[in-house]
Amino acid sequence: MPQSVAPYPAARFRRLRQTAALRGLQRENSLSADDLIWPVFVQDGTDTETPIASMPGVARLTIDRLIRAAETAHKAGVNAICLFPYIDPSLKTEDCADAWHPENLVNRAIRALKADLPGLAIMTDVALDPYNINGHDGFVVGGEVLNDETVAALVKMALAQAEAGADILGPSDMMDGRIGAIRRALEAAGHHKTCIISYAAKYASAFYGPFRDAVGASGLLTGDKNTYQMDPANSDEALRLVARDLAEGADMVMVKPGMPYLDICRRVKDRFGAPTFAYQVSGEYAMLRGAADQGWLDHDRAMMESLLAFKRAGCDGILTYFAPAAARLLGDRRG
């Protein structure tokens, strides 16, 4: 407690809570649509969307429908989206070669979005799991996820996405050394303006389940991801990982999942002062949305309170499936 606080009744904290105007004047954190990145799932085909049962209100979209949805979200104030692919099972292989094919689903979606909405920032995922018949973020040989061989593949994937026009690359694989390798390759290829947001502190979490349904990886994963994703018990390790990735050339860093790890967000921001993001992951979204659909929570209030918590914890931005709904509500409040 600050020493300057007078004793009661000279100090009555409720004085500043009496009206909306007074509460607004001393509000410490605020949320805007500029803080939001919308994760979207793209699938092949035409004029089709496929609802994701474990994520009420979220669907996989074909590129034409994705463009229409992005236009609507952009008009509401969403200025950045992140693409995740649902890959045809026939393209999932041991060598994951579709991940860096210049005409793969993600790269076609990037080009289509950039042609239609040049002012929209496009973020991508750099990891092999959507393309891997084993469901892992890296190459699997003899039951082991190989680090260096995976990094070489991620470099090719990152370069293909940069060539397609991605603004922000998001390595989410948690292999050692991948940020430095990707940054060197981008510089050598002339992609000096391409940003990297590193999933620096990505935990081995139970909250990813609905996402794996969304990208078609749920039934494929052999074993678990504990050898490369972080132990949920660890906090100091996250700071070491962030320090390494910033030193290797990351422009921004990510904590994932979000709400269960707000303490990590706060520590990262306080220690490094770098642009810090969190991912309000599929399981977090599904819990809030599912409870709201049952009438157990007020949807809009719970959504906005959860997003504001990230700002209070020091985050500069949030990846959230609520982005379009939150942006519309923020716009309505301004109006």
Positions marked active-site? 202, 256
Tokens coding 329: 């509500």
> 3-state SS of the chain?
CCCCCCCCCCCCHHHHHCCHHHHHHCCCCCCCHHHEEEEEEEECCCCCEEECCCCCCCEEEEHHHHHHHHHHHHHHCCCEEEEEEECCHHHCECCCHHHHCCCCHHHHHHHHHHHHCCCCEEEEEECCHHHECCCCCCCEECCEECCHHHHHHHHHHHHHHHHHCCCEEEECCCCCCHHHHHHHHHHHCCCCCCEEEEEEEEECCHHHHHHHHHCCCCCCCCCCCCCCCECCCCCHHHHHHHHHHHHHCCCEEEEECCHHHHHHHHHHHHHHCCCEEEEECHHHHHHHHHHHHCCCCCHHHHHHHHHHHHHHCCCCEEEECCHHHHHHHHHHHHC
Q: Which of 164, 195, 152 is nearest to 102 (CA)?
A: 164
d(CA 334, CA 331): 5
d(CA 92, CA 262): 35
> Are β-strands 36-43 and 80-86 bridged in parallel, bridged antiparallel, or unpaired?
parallel
d(CA 316, CA 70): 22
